[in-house]
């Protein structure tokens, strides 16, 4: 319980080609040994497309099924977002897939109006804080990074549901005496032209929430001619960069240390001085 292995998969994406992307990610995941949590980019099966009517799947569709199969086969937690349709509405939905086939999901709260995402997709209204090996993981998507209140540690109980496999409850409890979560994850299709903001904001979220932050971005050019430099990053609770890579595909595994996190929070107990608030 004192460590958590996190694997970043920074990859190019075949534009709106689910089969090609699943095959590519499948090969990369198959080669992993000893992985625990594997993180894919935003809309990993299609790229960041504004054509959900042509590309959306249902929760019983092929990509969620693929995630279930891969998680079971490799005994990992597998996460990333894809385009989901429910009741005629489209969601940019992050799936947290457990190796026993159970899942949690988070619908992107902040839709990127600059690209018209708010016109094509429905915003989510609740956060997902999952639990694995005693670590609590707050799962968010791309543009959410620009809105610090949505990620802020808060002193209220979180929803808790029993989940017997792979580390306990799907939703982790919290109390005023402890941090709400330990790791903050952002999956993204963040463009190269705004890479500076991406890198600075990832570090800021780590510092202000005294947690590990994992940002997983894509590389390559999408179907709209927008370039992505990756710059996926692992950041420690003091804002220190533990890993980053720019301009190329990479699969990187890093071991997060609970003892370091606890030491930082103990020596610098800033979170207890924060403001209590509720999100509606």
- Residue 139: the pLDDT is 98
In-domain check, residue 211: yes
Give the pairing type, strands 183-187 and 135-141: parallel
Q: Which of 74, 108, 154, 199 is catalytic?
A: 108
In-domain check, residue 236: yes
In-domain check, residue 234: yes
Q: How many domains does the chain have?
A: 1
Q: Which two tokens stand for residue 255?
A: 């071991």
Q: Which of 142, 154, 180, 211 is catalytic?
A: 142
In-domain check, residue 62: yes
In-domain check, residue 200: yes
Q: Which of 16, 36, 42, 163 is catalytic?
A: 42
> pLDDT tens digits, residue range 145-188?
999 999 999 755 444 333 444 444 454 444 444 789 999 999 99
d(CA 181, CA 184): 8
pTM to 2 decimal places: 0.92
Does residue 55 sit in helix, strand or coil? helix
d(CA 193, CA 15): 19
In-domain check, residue 278: no
Q: Which two tokens stand for residue 5?
A: 């292995």
d(CA 97, CA 258): 23
> pLDDT tens digits, residue range 121-142?
999 999 999 999 999 999 999 9
Domain that holds residue 243: 3-273
> pLDDT tens digits, residue range 3-62?
999 999 999 999 999 999 999 999 999 999 999 999 999 999 999 999 999 999 999 999
Report whether 252 contacts 217 (CB < 8 A).
no
Q: Which two tokens stand for residue 212?
A: 């590990």
Is residue 211 annotated as a catalytic residue, yes or no? Answer: no
Is residue 53 annotated as a catalytic residue, yes or no? Answer: no
CA angle 272, 277, 280 (to 5 degrees): 150
In-domain check, residue 280: no
**CATH code of the domain in which 111 resides:** 3.60.110.10
In-domain check, residue 94: yes
d(CA 96, CA 247): 27
Is residue 108 annotated as a catalytic residue, yes or no? Answer: yes
Q: What are phi and psi of 245, to 5 degrees?
A: -150, 135
């Amino acid at each position: 319980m004192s460590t958590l292995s996190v694997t970043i998969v920074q990859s190019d994406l075949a534009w709106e080609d689910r089969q090609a992307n699943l095959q590519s990610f499948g090969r990369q995941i198959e080669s992993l040994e000893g992985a625990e949590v594997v993180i894919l980019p935003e809309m990993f099966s299609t790229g960041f497309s504004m054509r959900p009517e042509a590309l959306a799947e249902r929760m019983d569709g092929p990509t969620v099924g693929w995630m279930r199969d891969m998680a079971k086969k490799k005994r990992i937690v597998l996460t990333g977002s894809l385009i989901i349709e429910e009741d005629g509405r489209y969601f940019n939905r992050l799936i947290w897939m457990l190796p026993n086939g159970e899942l949690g999901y988070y619908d992107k709260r902040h839709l990127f109006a600059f690209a018209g995402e708010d016109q094509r997709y429905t915003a989510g209204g609740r956060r997902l804080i999952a639990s694995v090996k005693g670590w609590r993981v707050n799962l968010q998507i791309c543009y959410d990074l620009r809105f610090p209140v949505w990620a802020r540690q808060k002193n209220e109980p979180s929803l808790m549901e029993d989940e017997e496999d792979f580390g306990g409850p799907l939703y982790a409890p919290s109390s005023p005496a402890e941090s709400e979560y330990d790791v903050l994850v952002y999956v993204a299709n963040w463009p190269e032209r705004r890479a500076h903001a991406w890198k600075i904001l990832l570090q800021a979220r780590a510092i202000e929430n005294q947690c590990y932050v994992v940002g997983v971005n894509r590389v390559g050019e999408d179907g709209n001619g927008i370039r992505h430099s990756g710059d996926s990053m692992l950041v420690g609770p003091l804002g220190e960069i533990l890993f980053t890579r720019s301009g190329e595909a990479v699969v990187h595994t890093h071991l997060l240390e609970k003892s370091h996190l606890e030491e930082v929070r103990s020596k610098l107990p800033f979170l207890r001085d924060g403001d209590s608030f509720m999100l509606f």
